[in-house]
Amino acid sequence: MAAATDGSIARVADAFLRAAAAERDLSPNTLAAYRSDLAQFTKWAARSKVTRVDRIDRTLLRRFVAFLGERRFARRTIARKASALRSMLAWAEARDLIRSNPASDVKVPKLDRPLPRTLKAAEAVALVELPPGDDPVGSRDRAILEVLYGSGLRVSELCDLDLDDLDMRAGTLVVTGKGRKQRHVPTSGPARKALRTYIAEARPALMGDHDVGGALFLNRRGRRIGPRSIRALMTKYLAAEGAAPASPHDLRHSFATHLLDGGADLRAVQELLGHESLSTTQIYTHVSTERLKVVYEQSHPRA
């Protein structure tokens, strides 16, 4: 607390970020974004001669939101910056640095919720079958794509998998999601087959003499694979086929949409995806409805 006692916005922001890193288990990317957002506000507020946290009021915050809009920041970016300020000021209020949180009722532009991009079932199946099975990298890539599409993992969740997270007998994975929350997800038959081949043959070849700990998926240098490498391998295979670009998250979207298309219960899909709120999962019902509309318009004589 000592670092925040002088009440300067910069000191309070720094103390808040240290506390958030220690207490809220935020990802490094989220912390970096918060740090950048608060630094921008601190610099902007100083131009209005506001340098102390107890001098921040609703009018100043509304002017900041308007400033961001005039600079044509995306709505989602403005919402994130407002969230960073709201969180910092709530933290300051809880520690009696300010009397109340002036950001509690500051409105930000409503977010557009574009429908997630999904692949057709045939396209997803064709993609996961593209990697060759006659070399270690191809075997690894096949296993990665089968798990992404077959279990609906976030790319970060897949990269964090260890060998001990895989239960071949039960056909499940222990996945550590956002907030370090764990969930058990099933694996598909093709994914289990690809994993067996990868673990028995390709992983030892990629590992070489390196000590990789328990990491399940390895890169060419024998280290735990990262999200950038997985995005790159998808780009490589799709470009070679002349297919439209797709991301690992598109496979996650496809996983959820194809489950709902097949009659899966929405709450079951929520559990499989690791969504905290059912409303987050409900966007996939809109995707399924759009698919039904296309089928209807193409098939019904009165459409």
Q: Does residue 191 fall inside a structural domain?
A: yes
pLDDT, residue 74, reads: 85
3-24 burial string, b = 16+ CB within 10 Å, else e?
Answer: ebeeebbbbbbbbbbeebeeee
Question: Do 97 and 114 form a contact (C-beta atoms < 8 A)?
Answer: no
Q: Which residues are catalytic?
A: 154, 178, 249, 252, 275, 284
Burial class (CB in 10 A: 0-12, 13-18, 19+), 83: middle
138 and 220 fall within a common domain: yes
In which domain, by residue range, is 16 found? 2-94
pLDDT, residue 29, reads: 82
Residue 13 and residue 18: Cα distance in Å, rounded? Answer: 9
pLDDT, residue 16, reads: 93
pLDDT, residue 291, reads: 60
Q: Record the tokens describing residue 101, joined without a space.
A: 């949180």
132 and 44 fall within a common domain: no
Q: Does residue 274 fall inside a structural domain?
A: no
Q: How many structural domains does the chain have?
A: 2
Residue type, 274: G
Question: Do 177 and 183 form a contact (C-beta atoms < 8 A)?
Answer: yes
Q: Does residue 8 fall inside a structural domain?
A: yes
68 and 19 fall within a common domain: yes
| Domain harbouring 69, CATH code | 1.10.150
Q: Does residue 236 fall inside a structural domain?
A: yes
80 and 173 fall within a common domain: no
89 and 193 fall within a common domain: no
Q: Does residue 7 fall inside a structural domain?
A: yes
pLDDT, residue 292, reads: 58
Q: Which of 217, 247, 277 is at the close of a domain? A: 247
∠ CA 143-137-200, nearest 5°, is: 60
Q: Does residue 265 fall inside a structural domain?
A: no
Helix 75-94, helix 58-70: angle, nearest 10: 160
Question: Do 128 and 149 form a contact (C-beta atoms < 8 A)?
Answer: yes
83 and 127 fall within a common domain: no
Q: Which of 247, 275, 295 is at the close of a domain? A: 247
Digitized pLDDT (tens) for each residue of the chain, 303 residues in all:
444 457 899 999 999 999 888 776 667 888 899 999 999 999 999 999 999 999 999 999 999 999 998 998 888 889 889 989 999 999 999 999 998 999 887 777 665 566 678 899 999 999 999 999 889 999 999 999 999 999 999 999 999 999 999 999 999 999 999 888 899 999 999 999 999 999 999 999 999 888 888 999 999 999 999 999 999 999 999 999 998 899 999 999 999 999 888 888 888 989 999 988 887 787 777 666 666 566 557 765 655
∠ CA 30-271-82, nearest 5°, is: 25
| Domain harbouring 228, CATH code | 1.10.443.10
Q: Which of 247, 266, 288 is at the close of a domain? A: 247
Query: Could you tell me whether strands 172-176 and 166-167 are parallel, antiparallel, or unpaired per DSSP bridges?
Result: antiparallel
The residue behind tokens 């002017």 is 63
- The pTM score is 0.63
Q: Does residue 217 fall inside a structural domain?
A: yes
